[in-house]
């Protein structure tokens, strides 16, 4: 009599043990101090107004020095250009790319948070203190680097502003800051199961 093939069931057990469960688009991490967007693969500080208004240089320095829950490596959000998703397109000439501004922008990290995830000052979801004004991007306005890109969380408007002006700053970083590495013991358990699979296959042959 042919012995049952244990490969399928054992593989299912391994993946069930070592795979992380799927998440909703936005979830709390770092004990609620950050929010992870698993679609954009970005972690945002839960508090969207940790340090108030500041100029562009100070905002970048603040984000770079920020540490939350023992986690550093924060930065200001980036703004993609060109961005054809924006409702307004501007050709600055001089060999520069078309610049996307206005509403509907989804290429920038803040634009994605507003237009795709639905996070606004009026409806902040998991976030706290989202301001009805502009937030700095780390991205300079290429045609005139005395300006940098900003985003307004009141009505979703992307625009550039002079660097000495004083929008707000919201820190973000790539990846899930709350991700917990799989313990070595769990990997050893998985390796043991893989060994059993090899034995089962040899016996079934």
Q: Where are the domains of the chain?
A: 24-184
The dihedral of CA 62, 118, 120, 139: what is its sign? positive
What's the CA gap between 25 and 151, in Å, rounded?
A: 21
156-201 pLDDT, tens digit each: 999 999 999 999 999 999 999 998 544 444 445 545 555 555 555 5
Task: Tell me the pTM.
Answer: 0.78
What's the CA gap between 100 and 88, in Å, rounded?
A: 6
89-127 pLDDT, tens digit each: 999 999 999 999 999 999 999 999 999 999 999 999 999
């Amino acid at each position: 009599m042919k012995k049952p093939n244990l490969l399928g069931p054992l593989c299912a057990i391994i993946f069930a043990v070592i795979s992380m469960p799927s998440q909703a688009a936005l979830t709390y991490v770092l004990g609620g101090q950050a929010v992870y967007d698993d679609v954009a693969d970005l972690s945002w500080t839960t508090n969207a107004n940790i340090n108030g208004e500041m100029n562009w240089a100070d905002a970048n320095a603040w984000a770079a020095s920020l540490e939350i829950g023992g986690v550093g490596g924060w930065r200001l959000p980036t703004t993609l250009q060109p961005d054809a998703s924006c409702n307004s397109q501007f050709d600055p000439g001089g060999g520069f790319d078309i610049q996307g501004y206005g509403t509907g922008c989804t290429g920038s990290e803040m634009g994605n948070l507003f237009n795709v995830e639905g996070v606004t000052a009026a409806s902040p979801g998991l976030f706290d203190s989202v301001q009805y004004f502009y937030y700095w991007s780390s991205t300079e306005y290429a045609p005139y680097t005395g300006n940098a890109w900003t985003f307004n969380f009141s009505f979703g408007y992307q625009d550039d502003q002079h660097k000495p002006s004083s929008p707000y700053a919201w820190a973000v970083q790539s990846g899930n800051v709350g991700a917990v590495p799989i313990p070595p013991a769990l990997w050893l358990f998985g390796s043991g199961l893989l060994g059993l699979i090899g034995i089962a296959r040899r016996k079934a042959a």
